[in-house]
Amino acid sequence: MQSISILGSTGSIGVSTLDVVARHPDRYRVHALSAHSRVAELAQQCERFRPEVAVVGSAAAAAELESLLRGKGLPTQVACGPEALCDIASADGCDMVMAAIVGAAGLASTLAAARAGKKILLANKEALVISGQLLMDAVAANGAGLLPIDSEHNAIFQCLPPGYTRSMPAHGVEKILLTASGGPFLTRDVATLNEVTVEEAVAHPKWVMGRKISVDSATMMNKGLEVIEAHWLFGAPADKIEVVIHPQSVIHSMVSYADGSVLAQLGNPDMRTPIANALAYPERIASGVAPLDLAQIAQLSFSQPDFGRFPCLKLAYDALRAGGTLAAILNAANEVAVQAFLDRRIGFRMIDQLIQRVMSAIPNRQAADIGALLEQDAQARAHAEALISQ
């Protein structure tokens, strides 16, 4: 029996993780759950899964949750704030951590899990985008495990040889091929993208995701962040990571080898597949996902991404090639820009323009610790907000 702490349990990844866990009560139990502000949903999860601890974002939310849990007669301990997240990520009572908090907010708890030597199921790509070297060093130094949950990176993980050591030449790996659906605006007239509404941007054609990540998919910043994540996970330089548009979202990613072979992982677009893979690795367990019917799909298509349509993807490649803290600056500016778009403060095409202006304005530095990274993050956010308010 393995115990798991799920950080971000009321989000789409957290809900899917609990679905897989519930299918295997003989294998897994929930040690802790966290949610920022969805108190009612978290209380329902606590009632079903009986965690020892539940963490929320504020004291007010904690008081509300405490009241709900005591009303149900549940003994789950309630805590709040970033330190409490780090506590449940590093607790002796948990064997593995699902890191599914969106954005920079999930960085500290993911690092805490790594320093505690936990098996980390990484759904928070920003942790690697912002602090790739720090996180990978912490994983190596403390004997932690790091298994990717993003469907693309989990697919790459499955296509790489067992025991892969983050050295492409040592394993005959020629290239990493990241597939992308292209989002809802793949064929829309570029000249009309200024008119994109929030409702259109969050309506992903294949995946059910949160609002922020749905906008990232529409701009393809999500794929750009995945390029940076792939660099850290697999030791791949920028010129060995290729993005391929694949609208059907059936092939989740591929690995090209020196002998000419290309290995691909296929499946229906459902996050329970990579979650189940990472939970049980190296075993395979049922995920609840329907088997793939290739005859029904009939056709798979591929194309190269257009940087004119998707400038955010190019910005991410630029940040990766530049190194230093530029990826952290990129991520911070993107988070602010996307939220401003969701709040209807800026237009859709202002997202990439804002990010580019912030990347040009904030000096790119080297950062040896999380404090320096968070300082760059804060500067980028402040500058982005200032530009929006002009």
Residue 374 makes CB contacts below 8 A (sequence gap 6+) with: 104, 107
**364 is an annotated ligand-binding site residue:** no
Distance CA 305, CA 317 (A): 13
Give the residue among 311, 381, 151, 372 at the shortest CA–CA distance from 246: 151
Establish whether 150 is an annotated binding residue: yes
User: Which element (helix H / strand E) includes 281?
Assistant: none
Q: How far apart are CA 159 and CA 148, in angstroms?
A: 13
Ligand-binding annotation for 132, yes or no, is no
Q: What angle do CA 275, 327, 248 make, to 5 degrees?
A: 45
226 is in an annotated binding site: yes
Alpha carbon distances (Å) from 90 to 141, 245, 328, 336: 15, 38, 24, 29
List all residues 6 or more positions away from 252 whose beta carbon is below 8 Å from its beta carbon.
151, 152, 154, 155, 179, 264, 265, 266, 267, 274
Distances (CA, A) of 32 to 6, 94, 175: 6, 8, 38
**Start-end of H helices in 198-348:** 198-201, 211-219, 221-234, 272-280, 294-297, 311-322, 326-342
Residue 10 known to bind ligand: yes
Q: Which residues, in sequence order, are CB contacts of 1 under 8 Å at separation 6+? A: 26, 27, 28, 29
Distance of CA 23 to the CA centre of its chain: 23
Amino acid at 217: S
Q: Is 119 annotated as a binding residue?
A: no
| Residue 181 labeled ligand binder | yes
* Strand pairing category for 173-180 and 77-80: unpaired
Q: Is 206 annotated as a binding residue?
A: no
Coil/strand/helix, residue 244? strand
Residue 217 labeled ligand binder: yes
What is the C-alpha to C-alpha distance for residues 214 and 239, in angstroms, rounded to an integer? Answer: 26
The answer to whether the annotation marks 72 as part of a ligand binding site is: no
Q: Is 151 a known ligand-binding residue?
A: yes
Amino acid 47 reads E
Nearest CA-CA partner of 274 in 237, 214, 226, 319: 226
**Residue 287 annotated as binding?**
no
CB distance 216 to 222 below 8 Å: yes
Instruction: Say whether 118 counts as a known binding-site residue.
Output: no
Phi, psi of 231 (to 5 degrees): -55, -45
Binding residues for NADPH: 10-13, 124, 126, 210
Binding residues: 10-13, 124-126, 150-152, 181, 204, 210, 217, 222-223, 226
Binding residues for 1-deoxy-D-xylulose 5-phosphate: 125, 151-152, 181, 204, 217, 222-223, 226
Binding residues for Mn(2+): 150, 152, 226
